[in-house]
Amino acid sequence: MNDGLLEFSEEPKEVQILDENGKLLLAGDNDRRFFEAAWLHKYNGKYYFSYSTGDTHFICYGIGDNPYGPFHYKGRILNPVVGWTSHHSICEVEGKSYLFYHDSSLSKGVTHLRCVKVKEIKYRSDGSIITLNPYEDR
């Protein structure tokens, strides 16, 4: 964006998310395709594009070498929460990465009355993110 942050400094480009064969994730791939809630963060020199799959309720991500992409689909960050929507951000605090997200637990399942939560996310040595189960048995 330009200095005033009120308009684009260049034509917006489409972001490409590619599958394991380098092919575009298509609209029918509901478990993996982008729906909403885009977020970009950087880890170990790579760009991580994460998003919600909407009607399948996952937070997924792809990794790219460039903030413009393309991003290679790598998996899920968060499995479905209570409530239809899932929307997040990822922020590094004191050397650790945290997933900020929400669910509808505080309202006992009212899908449009949500509550913000946070949990640390961890990376494997290959840069992939270990999937969080929001309500794992402990």
Partner 1 sequence: MPEDNIDHIDFDKLNQNSISKPLIKKIYTADPSAHVFNGNIYIYPSHDIDAGEAFDDLGSHFAMEDYHVISMDSISILGGSGVDSYKDGEKDILMQISQKVQLPLYQMMTRQLYYHLLQK
**Is 89 a residue that touches partner 1 (CB under 8 A)?**
yes
Nearer to partner 1, 42 or 119 (CB): 119
Per-residue x/- track, 99-128, partner 1 (CB under 8 A): -xxxx-xxxxxxxxxxxxxxxx--------
Q: How far is the CB of 73 from partner 1 (least distance, A)?
A: 23
- Residue the block writes with tokens 């900020």: 100
- Rounded to whole angstroms, how far apart are CA atoms 19 and 26? 9
Amino acid at 5: L
Spatial contact of 97 and 120, defined as CB atoms under 8 Å apart: yes
End-to-end CA distance of the chain: give it in Å, rounded: 45
Interacting residues toward partner 1 by CB under 8 A? 3, 5, 37, 82, 84-85, 87-94, 96, 98, 100-103, 105-120, 132-138
